[in-house]
Structure 1
Amino acid sequence: MKVNEIRALFPILHQNVNGHPLVYFDSAATSQKPLPVIEALDRYYREYNSNVHRGVHTLGTKATDAYEGAREKARRFLNARSMQEIIFTRGTTSALNLVASSYGRAHVNEGDEIVITYMEHHSNLIPWQQLAKQTGATLKYIPLQEDGTIDLNDVEATVTPAVKIVAIAHVSNVLGTINPIREIARIAHERGAIIVVDAAQSAPHMKIDVQELDCDFLAFSGHKMCGPTGIGVLYGKRELLEQMEPIEFGGEMIDFVELYDSTWKELPWKFEGGTPIIAGAIGLGAAIDFLEQVGLDAIAAHEHELAQYALERMADLEGVTVYGPKERAGLVTFNIDGVHPHDVATVLDAEGIAIRAGHHCAQPLMKWLDVTATARASFYLYNTKEEIDRFIAALQKAKEYFSHVF
């Protein structure tokens, strides 16, 4: 599909903001939703809204088929071996917390080590901080190179036999760094550790094969990949999930309840207590269908072209610092000398351009970069080079405005 054909499927893009056509460069925070997803949600609520699994009536059967059909789509999307390895969660954050709270508490003890990096989103940092505090384990960080990449020699040196868990982002939400997960997984496994992958910034943008990566757990969110908010996926190797205890208890996840004891359903349902996120899963399934129709390889190539074009254009702007490696995913994080990122974002918003400003839920990385905040423009399958040209012109206007103010 061509970009203009893709854009036609996103109703929200066809509006003016502050008197200008909207340029949406904040997809790393949340992506916009295409008509096939919106229509799938509308159809569920209009035609077969019902709870799943328990009922035998027609609407319940339709809802169950659609919900479990979405699980199969997620399995295919990741190339997992079995639908039992696909757990629906509220998003990446809840999926990572599930791993830390269930697997982590059962397998990490005093004296053990947990390894992460400085580039982690808080969702893939705080759960491991808490696990270390609760167990007496040590939290360690893999050093970053000057450009924000990881050297595998540093991974080899940091991941010792005392390490039980390596948790790492596939793609940095600030730097755009694409980490070598397959190689890091090999090192972790050689030391007897497991690897947990935060794929929030990679699943929407590139093909992921969990068997090829050989990751033990992988988490992503639907809302960053054209799907609804409040739905995500935790992939886990079946043998590991089988060992884990649920962390939420109640209806749906039980097999049999007695007065003083209960047993759990088999995978994946033992981790999905209560009424599940039915509409969200159905919407996520529609989003997966849409992304696969466009083609993940085509999306990755398009975003790479946009990111490189943006980097080339920004190199011509004096007083602008761009963070991260040259080869990156589809985002650019930057600062204008002497101007707070929130002020930059405000000026761009006046031009109809939506970007993100702040610490991006990555405060340790901000400290590593020696800044308090940055601005970020993130691209997706519906963005164009013409929009980047508008973005560059707006940045120039911001530079000129603040040069007079200060």
Structure 2
Amino acid sequence: MISRIDLRGATGDPRDLLPRAEFDVEAALEKVRPICEDVRHRGVAALVELTERFDGVRLERTRVPEAEITAALETLDPKVRAALEESIRRARLVHREQRRTDHTTQVVPGGTVSERWVPVDRVGLYVPGGLAVYPSSVVMNVVPAQEAGVPGIAVTSPPQKDFGGRVHPAILAACALLGVSEVYAVGGAQAIAMFAYGTAECAPVNLVTGPGNIYVAAAKRLLKGRIGIDAEAGPTEIAILADDSAVPAEVAADLISQAEHDPMAASVLVTDSLTLADAVEVELESQVAKTKHRERVGQALAGRQSGIVLVDGLEQGLAVVNAYAAEHLEIQTRDAAAVAARVRNAGAIFVGRYAPVSLGDYAAGSNHVLPTGGCACHSSGLSVQSFLRGIHVIDYSREALAEIAEHVVNLANAEDLPGHGDAIRARFDWTVPGSPVTEEQV
């Protein structure tokens, strides 16, 4: 059901030896290019035709009526509503603390540099709707955007054939709880193009965030520059670093929890305990047979992207998980907090047996939109900072400029850019007595 990779005694960089999903965004680019161009030139008409082709739904309009959003909340299961409200509350607590404050540094008397944090004007938030429905992703995208102060927020999600061509009611209900009234029933690459180019129904955005399939990722890559993007999200991943203190049934359950997302989902156990590895395999056989989505779970666990990685000990285990840079990393070892503190590369770290990834998916307060495919070694998950831009404001007096003028001119001349120096010279009248800078000085 799941393969083993034995790295015991191995030296060097383990990255090429570790399991990883095949996710060729470059190959998908040529498929999404004509889709994006069609939306660019024909707008809503193209979206209607593309949605009928890919989703089997004929739209009358792309924007969801506000009455439909309100009705979805009114009919939402009270238990689900309570869970979403608590998820929103916890996410706000965490993300509100991420907001940066403006500050001013006095470099010299009369010379200051201020940094202002300004939210983007308008964002498009993509909520997937393929094998599963993700109202939790509405929370994870909208809350940080709102806490950043973004004035314009639009959400899009694929229309569901099973719901009469409407966006899934749970997604609409989550939008209603968050006060988002601009929602579109568009999915796939065409949704990203809609946000990038705008249509008669949807104004263009500055930034697009949210996970999706390979075609969504390819459209993000294609349109990056016209729009900002958070990341090119690939299939979900879980890695678990565990020793013989871990509970096999819990480890197996956590591997299955991410495998049920998609047949391409990655579930990886890194351990120095053969006893644990054997016991987890037994548990997987038993638990997969009982789980609802056993077919896709079995495909994910048996795929090349999943495996049990055997290591010599904790030190090698840490080296392996840092090289793998998982989207979600669980630490199920003795002294789990101390071990977690030594991890440098992960989208999110879950410490100990009572912090499973499922908690972070829904209600830990953290964000579940995280870097995949090893990108956690250089990128972060979605946060308030994703929606802010830092702008430097430079304010110098004549005296403060005069003090540094000679250095600026000398550096300009060293780079053979004399016009830069002339821009300094032009600000001083050499004929005025008492000028703080003489022509000989500059």
What is the TM-score when the length of structure 1 is the normalising length?
Answer: 0.29
What is the TM-score when the length of structure 2 is the normalising length?
Answer: 0.27
Larger radius of gyration: 2
